[in-house]
Amino acid sequence: MYVTGLERGHARVPPVDLARRLALLLLVLSTLLVTGCATSPSPSLSSIEPLVTPAGSIDPSQMNLSSPDFLYLDEDMKRFVARTTADLSTARQRVTLLHQSILNSSGLNLEYSPEADGTAADVFHRGSANCLSYAHLLIALAREVGLDARYQWLDVRPQWTRMGGRVAIRLHVNVVIKLANGAEFMVDIDPLPPRQITGSRVLSDTDAAALHHNNLAMQALQREQHGQAYRHAVRALQLSPKTAHLWVNLGAIYRAAGQHDAAERSYLAALTLDKGHRTAMNNLVVLYELQGRKADQQLFSSRLASHRRRNPYYHAWQGELAAQQGDWSSAYNYYNRAISLRSDDPRLYYELAVIHVQLGDFPAATGNLEKAVEHAHLKRDKQYYQSQLNELSRLLLGFDQDV
């Protein structure tokens, strides 16, 4: 999924394996996007303005764009489910086998493709999916065998991709399956590194359908097909009018069509829903600069700067950039600031432990790894941080003995 921005992004630093960095050490002895005013009432669908194109005006009140049944299963799909889950007695087994059979070469051999949108049936017969369309497929198949499968939105640290002349932030959806005993499985065709995930929430089927239309709108905008982009953006808002980034994307379409006043109102609508929406604020800064509205540009530039100061992941990003340059003292300061703003994120403690290793402060590295273990919620994360803590202890013990 996409939400459009108008700034250059930055490359993410690849995940760091602390054990590798420790072993080596012991042997050798672009701008965030988005925020605003929260006193206005929630935006209404009636406030969506017509789009003016060379072919004429498109009035949203006269549009009749429907949505497909994303979870429909045909007979081939039902036979696949029955064959895959035959004789499996537990929900855990059904989850595991369904996911494996979808991806394995002996099953559907499904491939990941970022623009492979569509329904569950489209994905099943085409053999490719993005994160959202894979979720359609897995949820449809899982529900067929009685599993409680739902869409899940992942809040992630900002990542950018180029879409034509624009920069887009990738958003991410996967599937969460809840078992009767309270256990949960998070299933994903393109899993994100844990370090990039900052939160999650369950989505309704209707919200997921809106995200499908949002994807199509952004792909049409990339092709400069403004009318098609507008129709899908409006349909997305009809389904999920309180999703802020859908208003931002509608604003991007207005701006591309030269309707700057309508674009401004759409960005402001996003801010009434989420006063900390960086992309909406950033788009306003760019728009006001184009219009020569210096006072308004400065107002939102100041709000962006204020938001960054309060955003732990902005400081973490700055820390990553400093680490990339080998400036470990600055990286330490940035990560300390990030943790002061978000003291429950285990990944921040882990990354600070890496920095302490580079600075030679092994007791502090150990302490931060212990905090990472303490704050981790997912079993796999706890196990990973614990393994790194054990490796640090082992390497330090070996180093002391050599001395």
Mean pLDDT taken over the chain = 83
The whole-number average pLDDT for the span 331-340 is 93
For the segment 155-178, what is each residue's pLDDT rounded down to a tens digit?
776 554 444 444 445 678 999 998
Q: Is the alpha carbon torsion for 202, 208, 211, 215 positive or negative?
A: positive
Beta strands 197-203; 148-156: pairing state: antiparallel
Q: What is the model's pTM?
A: 0.74
56 Cα distance to chain centroid: 36
Q: Determine contact, residues 2/218, Cβ cutoff 8 Å.
A: yes
Taking CA atoms, 137 is separated from 66, 144, 363, in Å, by 20, 11, 48
Task: Give the 3-state secondary structure of residue 2.
Answer: strand
Burial of 37 (0-12, 13-18, 19+ CB in 10 A): exposed
Rounded Cα gap, residues 251 and 266, in angstroms: 5
For the segment 100-132, what is each residue's pLDDT rounded down to a tens digit?
999 988 889 999 998 899 999 999 999 999 999
Rounded Cα gap, residues 165 and 184, in angstroms: 40
Q: Which residues contact 206 (CB under 8 A, 6 or more apart)?
A: 239, 240
The pLDDT value given to residue 372 = 92
Instruction: Give the chain's radius of gyration (CA, Å).
Output: 24
Rounded Cα gap, residues 251 and 79, in angstroms: 44
Higher pLDDT, 22 or 303: 303
Q: In this prediction, what percent of the chain has a pLDDT beyond 90?
A: 54
Q: Which residues contact 281 (CB under 8 A, 6 or more apart)?
A: 33, 34, 35, 36, 267, 271, 300, 303, 304, 307
The whole-number average pLDDT for the span 141-150 is 94
Higher pLDDT, 172 or 133: 133
The pLDDT value given to residue 356 = 93
Confidence category of residue 320, pLDDT binned at 50, 70, 90: confident
Q: Which residues contact 346 (CB under 8 A, 6 or more apart)?
A: 371, 372, 373, 374, 375, 376, 377, 381, 385
Cross-strand partners of 290: none
Q: Determine contact, residues 84/76, Cβ cutoff 8 Å.
A: no
The pLDDT value given to residue 252 = 95
Q: Determine contact, residues 144/160, Cβ cutoff 8 Å.
A: no
The pLDDT value given to residue 5 = 44
Fold of domain 17-29+311-402: 1.25.40
For the segment 80-89, what is each residue's pLDDT rounded down to a tens digit?
999 998 877 7
Map tokens 């399956």 to a residue: 177
Domain boundary assignment for the chain: 17-29+311-402
Give yes or no for residue 31 having a pLDDT over 60: no
Secondary structure of 327-396 in HEC code, one letter for each residue: CHHHHHHHHHHHHHHCCCCHHHHHHHHHHHHHHCCHHHHHHHHHHHHHHCCCHHHHHHHHHHHHHHHHHH
Which tokens go with 214? Answer: 């949002």
The pLDDT value given to residue 120 = 96
